[in-house]
A and B are shown apart, each in its own frame.
Chain A
Amino acid sequence: GNSVTQMEGPVTLSEEAFLTINCTYTATGYPSLFWYVQYPGEGLQLLLKATKADDKGSNKGFEATYRKETTSFHLEKGSVQVSDSAVYFCALSDRGWSFGNEKLTFGTGTRLTIIP
């Protein structure tokens, strides 16, 4: 079955530091890959996604590249801000997402705290 392994947290960084949160996956097919973010008191929000190998998703200064050869989708940001403090979830879904009933498989989530 599908699975997602995500770097365990919590992660604490100083403002303007470089961020990497590792994510690797196991899937039987050709999944789409996602990073979701959950800010305190809010629901999960899609941060970025990639639907095929070598695609790079990016948003709000965050990037992640779909690496089929290493089955990875690591999240990176060059200079983090205090406002980036949140819990980050890596996830995958099998093909067929467009049918509207596909399932997401999540990693455990990584809590990120940025200190001024």
Chain B
Amino acid sequence: GAVVSQHPSWVICKSGTSVKIECRSLDFQATTMFWYRQFPKQSLMLMATSNEGSKATYEQGVEKDKFLINHASLTLSTLTVTSAHPEDSSFYICSAIIPGDGTEAFFGQGTRLTVV
């Protein structure tokens, strides 16, 4: 199946700093990618839909100025957590769908963010 690579797999940062997470589709072009967040013992919650060449669509309650999403190419979307706080500590996961075959989403390995 298609491969989505997410980097880094884990990161620790200080409060107030920014962290960038990358999501790459390795063997296909993805016009649409999705960013999810998962708190311990809770569901994966969709944060935003990332569209290549246009602005991301954020879910209700997600601060777009805090979670900056850039989908500059057909194989790369980035999520930047700006001015991180301890409450931003979470597991972030991206996924992508092959255009024209939207029956299966392919997921990255996830990124464990810890803000200290």
- How distant is the Cα of A45 from the Cα of B4 in the complex, in angstroms? 11
| Prevailing SS type, chain A contact patch | mixed
Q: Decide: B32 and A101 in contact? CB cutoff 8 A.
A: yes
> Chain A interface: which of B13-21, B75-83, B99-107?
B99-107
- How distant is the Cα of A38 from the Cα of B31 in the complex, in angstroms? 24
**Residues of chain A lying within 8 A (CB to CB) of residue B104:** 46, 49
Number of interface residues of A (CB under 8 A): 25
Q: Decide: A42 and B105 in contact? CB cutoff 8 A.
A: no
Are A100 and B31 CB-contacts (below 8 A) given A43-B109, A44-B95? yes
- How distant is the Cα of A105 from the Cα of B106 in the complex, in angstroms? 15
- How distant is the Cα of A31 from the Cα of B93 in the complex, in angstroms? 22
Q: Decide: A102 and B102 in contact? CB cutoff 8 A.
A: yes
In the assembled complex, A106 has its CB within 8 A of some CB on chain B: yes
**Residues of chain A lying within 8 A (CB to CB) of residue B106:** 43
Q: Decide: A4 and B102 in contact? CB cutoff 8 A.
A: no
In the assembled complex, A104 has its CB within 8 A of some CB on chain B: yes
Q: Taking beta carbons and an 8 Å cutoff, which residues of B are in contact with A? A: 1, 4, 6, 31-32, 34, 36, 41-46, 49, 51, 93, 95, 97, 99-100, 102-110
